[in-house]
Structure 1
């Protein structure tokens, strides 16, 4: 049949493994080079034959060289042996020279790729590649100035590295393309063929900036400025995919829960105006304040500015004002303006400063939560677990503010020093904070606590519980009956239980749970692991994009911007040597 004929042809071309015989060199002037996949090479004309067989070599020699070569160098003669030996020496010398040249060129190309990679990681222009070469040459010249021979050798090697702006551009194109290929390499359970910040490779779960294919989950911060004139993004996507999982960014939601109002907002506004007054009233005033802090060796050298976009700045501004309270009051007393005196009165008012110290303490707790939620490689389960722990902490804070204030150290010290009692405004704020966190994070649309518990503790859930029906709603294509059976089977596996105790959640589901036996359980786990928990990666990528495409790089194309952005935001490091075959030198 056709299949057997195809296999026969392939056998003739690929599977015959004839060994090269040493006497072929004397008879036919052929040599077998010493490298992988080498073919017999004629020492006279440097042509090669495909199949290593006597007939092929003999046919080539008799057809091309036999008459003239045998006439000048008769068989078995000393002249013939000497001539062949000379040709072998010349051939090896040529191969060595070409090999060294190729190796030097490959090293220069690899160095060029390395420099282009670092440029893209640092969001630098392509033209800076030549500057880096100049810097490298200058450093070598200084470091090796006492060794002229070595300096000359190293400088010559550096000069061979191609680092023009156009070359750096081509290198970034190759690196960006190679990264894209790596990121979307097909896998049997790779995020179920959907695009997200999280993707799975053979053994790890990575979080990067990727493109978009089929959307199954979306997280937003609800900011109208992002959607511009196109409103209703989630509803439009839901119309296309009714099973779409839509969430409000967990970090944004936690910040909204701690939104200030009433007396607390008034206090925060006053502190912000105070800091702005010291900083911005006049440059001379700001310099005098810093000089005073430096002269008295204060704990800090300056005040910090508050920015609503930076979630941690509110707590840090309050901390700095609290630490420099006495220094600020002393400095303001030297100023003659009415505003300075008003701020001084604010700083020496124990009641108002009580609110400042309270806000400083409560913001320190909120900043700890915010830092836990920020960063890469946080799954939706990790973030909800952190929020769940903070909800318990807020309940403790609600009781503590009415008692010993153990978790409000600044406020406790201030109250003890000034014999101040309890304040209902502070108690109401903590109670409101606890209520907001309870209401905002108690009910998660389409994602119950039992499903999240299954991902963290798969051996603690019941197979016939309601959560499997909820899992069916999250992933409509899942086989609920098979899911229940797989959960029961996992519960009886001592091996999986032991592995679950020894490794993390992601490693367990990716590397320990067999795909063939636990298709549905592993599928729902991968769905949760690759789900969007927040907009952190997206917003940090926007920051990188603004840094890359600045006003001095206004000619940067969208394709190059995309490649630079991928390189700048990825934690994946390509094998530079394996990328050389992608270059067209």
Structure 2
């Protein structure tokens, strides 16, 4: 619908080629998370099959809940995986991982295939890693949702994730699995170290593909014009730099900047410093994600930008 070749973006750019477009950070992160080897993909498929076997049958679902109550389990119900809800995958895997003993007891009398899987230490170790890595990816995804989020802060979080993947990859090669809480306590976890190492490397590569480098340091003056130095790569004109210098020496504006969100601050000073404020708003007005923003706040910035 919004594709850059035949979709909405391409149609808009035919009318105005200077329009700035941003692919949702949440969607791109979800595409990164879908990169799974066949070995790990089979684990997800089996988990979905196991959960569906219980959840799609009301009687079995009630019996499983009763079993969990009697065993004083941490949870009483399983969760269904929904492909359209990007965070559901991690939640489903974590829940299955935490209830695998109860599920093993439930399937003992009727589902030999599921019992074999849940009793297999190697398969459970893969399940544990899956639960851990998607929980970590979900944390990043959720952190990019919010009213104060912008393209600069979202980029910072993706860059941090990329460096974490590099760190985790180096630690895993040393046999250190402490960053994955479920895997660290799983039996036979050492066997899947090559699988984990390969998957982390692929995730890092996919992040580089979906998130080309953007040097956020060049926009530090937008985040805080009163302390940041002007980078030679910031591409400010002489007029914009002069206005930024004047702005930096206004104590009242410094106090105002501490009280307002970035977009509102730059919108309020656009009348006095039109050139540099417009430069900042062009960056901040971009929706970094498809998360439902506070429309009123964004309209204030958009109105100030286009007036």
Using structure 1 for the length normalisation, give the TM-score: 0.46
Give the alignment partner of residue 522 of structure 1, picking from 258, 261, 277. 277
Equivalent in the alignment of 2:193: 423
Give the alignment partner of residue 153 of structure 2, picking from 376, 379, 382. 382
Within-5 A mapping of 1:158-177: none
- CA RMSD, aligned part only? 2.8
Q: CA deviation at 1:490?
A: 3.4
Within-5 A mapping of 1:251-266: 251-259=26-34, 260-266=36-42
CA–CA distance in structure 2, aligned partners of residues 327 and 349 of structure 1:
15
1:404 matches 2:176 = yes
Equivalent in the alignment of 2:73: 298
Q: CA deviation at 1:516?
A: 4.2
Using structure 2 for the length normalisation, give the TM-score: 0.84
Within-5 A mapping of 1:7-26: none
Give the alignment partner of residue 82 of structure 2, picking from 307, 315, 325. 307
SS at match of 1:487: helix
Tell whether the 8 Å contact from 1:398 to 1:434 is kept in structure 2 after alignment. Answer: no
CA–CA distance in structure 1, aligned partners of residues 287 and 95 of structure 2:
35
SS at match of 1:275: helix
1:536 matches 2:306 = no
CA–CA distance in structure 2, aligned partners of residues 502 and 398 of structure 1:
40
1:284 matches 2:59 = yes
Within-5 A mapping of 1:154-233: 222=3, 231-233=6-8
Q: CA deviation at 1:401?
A: 2.5
1:274 matches 2:50 = yes
- Tell me the alpha carbon deviations over residues 379-429 of structure 1, each in whole angstroms, 9 at most, x when there is no partner: 2223223223322322222223333222111101114xx473562111110
Q: CA deviation at 1:502?
A: 6.2
Structure 1 pair 221/295, CA: closer, same or farther in 2 (3 Å)? farther
Equivalenced residues, count: 294
In our comparison, the structure showing a higher alpha carbon Rg is: 1
Higher relative contact order (CA 8 A, sep 6+): 2
Tell whether the 8 Å contact from 1:222 to 1:248 is kept in structure 2 after alignment. Answer: no
Tell whether the 8 Å contact from 2:247 to 2:253 is kept in structure 1 after alignment. Answer: yes
4+ aligned runs moved over 6 Å, structure 1: 569-572
Equivalent in the alignment of 2:143: 372
Q: Which runs of 5+ in 2 are unaligned?
A: 298-307
Structure 1 pair 221/396, CA: closer, same or farther in 2 (3 Å)? farther
SS at match of 1:248: coil
Equivalent in the alignment of 2:243: 486
Larger CA deviation: 294-303 vs 350-359:
294-303
CA–CA distance in structure 2, aligned partners of residues 396 and 487 of structure 1:
38
Structure 1 pair 487/292, CA: closer, same or farther in 2 (3 Å)? same
Structure 1 pair 314/498, CA: closer, same or farther in 2 (3 Å)? same
Equivalent in the alignment of 2:128: 357
CA–CA distance in structure 1, aligned partners of residues 67 and 177 of structure 2:
34
Structure 1 pair 571/293, CA: closer, same or farther in 2 (3 Å)? farther
Tell whether the 8 Å contact from 1:332 to 1:344 is kept in structure 2 after alignment. Answer: yes
Q: CA deviation at 1:315?
A: 0.7
CA–CA distance in structure 2, aligned partners of residues 303 and 495 of structure 1:
55
Tell whether the 8 Å contact from 2:183 to 2:189 is kept in structure 1 after alignment. Answer: no
Equivalent in the alignment of 1:318: 93
Structure 1 pair 531/266, CA: closer, same or farther in 2 (3 Å)? same
CA–CA distance in structure 1, aligned partners of residues 190 and 78 of structure 2:
28
Equivalent in the alignment of 2:223: 456
Tell whether the 8 Å contact from 1:468 to 1:483 is kept in structure 2 after alignment. Answer: no
CA–CA distance in structure 1, aligned partners of residues 190 and 3 of structure 2:
42
SS at match of 1:334: coil
CA–CA distance in structure 1, aligned partners of residues 39 and 219 of structure 2:
38
CA–CA distance in structure 2, aligned partners of residues 287 and 419 of structure 1:
33
SS at match of 1:374: coil
Q: CA deviation at 1:451?
A: 4.8
Structure 1 pair 287/430, CA: closer, same or farther in 2 (3 Å)? same
CA–CA distance in structure 2, aligned partners of residues 323 and 419 of structure 1:
16
CA–CA distance in structure 1, aligned partners of residues 207 and 189 of structure 2:
32
